[in-house]
Amino acid sequence: MSHPTRPSRDVSSATPWRPLALLSAAMLAAHLLLLGGMNFDGLPAAQPLNRPLITRTVVATPVAAVPPSQATPPRPKPVATRTQPRTAPPAPAPAPAPAPDQDSNPTSDAVTSTPTAINSVAEEPPANATETPTAPPAAPAAEAPAPVVTVPGSLRIQYQLYGEVRTLPYTANAELLWAHDGESYNAQLEISALFLGSRRQTSRGQLTPQGLKPKRFGDKVRSEVAAHFEYDKGKVIFSANTPEAALQPGAQDQLSIFVQLASLIAAEPQRYPRGTALEMQAVGPRESDSWRFVVNGEERLRLPGGEQDTLKLTRAPRQPHELTVELWLAPALGYLPVRIKLTQDNGDFIDQQWRSSATP
């Protein structure tokens, strides 16, 4: 059971201006630069397949040597080289003497012909070869099934937010509003602190059989910057005049991704045991990134609103100065997050903990 430590000081008790400015900048910057980049795990290189060999004893009857240009190639068969000498056959009728540079030993002929028979499998038979029935074409590989989702019902969640900047603690309030009518959705996360103002993120879009399909993501502190999902053009356009980003299948924004994770896990929790990784494109207000979460396992938390059974996921930093993101999803709330913790490499953190929830 995890017991988060409550900070001992409230922002209202801090020194009036300089600490408040530091706290405000840190809190807003941490949420603005929520996560850094992440690459897909590389797949191991495919190993070459060895051709199966059939070991069997073959007794060959010597025949007169035929020039290669007149010989009819036999039907290709993989033949294994024998390690035991063959039984000598009955004395054959006299055959024309081989050319001086040829080996008249029958065993040597069988051994040297083996690679020719194996390699000829990939070659086309000559025009005068007997036509053999061809095997029916292999059926095309089945496409991966679409993910199954169970979108959580509309809910308003209140959080108590604890933070620390340069060892100076502060507190704030946060609220997540998730609402949908079965076809379209609206999500809003707002953080507000005494004397520090507020920050609001919004996401709106459609609900599909694969989950959330965002259309617009907004992030507002003083003024708003937004990302627009142009599915017909296959790209994301940013109002901050930053370069466009290619739109990947299943893309989410930095707010909808939490509800999409909840929808995937709620549908089939057994498919996400400890160690499972979930990765998808996450679009921010100015750029796009790839977010990869790993399932850590079940954990029972004691939070301001009471105890909750949760499933913990973590996104570890890949590069210096990236945030460590810890996420706790509660089955009792449709796997919506009851705790979100962001930690910088210098130890500064923001810890958002569930206080209460109700249907909007």
- Tell me the per-residue pLDDT of 64-81, one tens digit each, with 9 for 90 and over: 444 444 444 444 444 333
The answer to whether 170 touches 6, Cβ cutoff 8 Å, is no
Q: For 171-184, how does the pLDDT look when each residue is reduced to its tens digit (9 = 90+)?
A: 999 999 999 999 99
- What value does the mean pLDDT take over residues 213-221? 97
CA nearest neighbour of 77 among 113, 108, 109: 113
C-alpha 62/C-alpha 192 separation (Å) is: 95
Tell me what the mean pLDDT of segment 41-52 comes to: 37
Positive/negative CA dihedral, 165, 356, 337, 1: positive
Distance CA 119, CA 140 (A): 27
State the average pLDDT over residues 223-230.
97
Size of the chain in residues: 360
d(CA 296, CA 324) in angstroms, rounded, equals 14
Confidence band, pLDDT 50/70/90 cuts, at residue 200: very high
Is the pLDDT reported for residue 25 higher than 60? no
- Per-residue b/e over 50-87, b at no fewer than 16 CB within 10 Å? eeeeeeeeeeeeeeeeeeeeeeeeeeeeebeeeeeeee
Q: What is the CATH number of domain 24-35+146-358?
A: 2.50.20
Model confidence at 318, pLDDT cuts 50, 70, 90, reads: confident
129-134 long-range contacts, CB within 8 A, separation 24+: 129/72, 129/73, 132/75
For the chain, the domains span 24-35+146-358
pLDDT score of 300 more than 60: yes
Q: Which residue has the higher pLDDT, 40 or 356?
A: 356
Average pLDDT over residues 149-174: 95
Q: Under a CB-based contact definition with an 8 Å cutoff, are residues 314 and 275 in contact? A: no
Whole-number pLDDT of residue 61: 43
Return the percentage of the chain with pLDDT > 90, whole number. 53
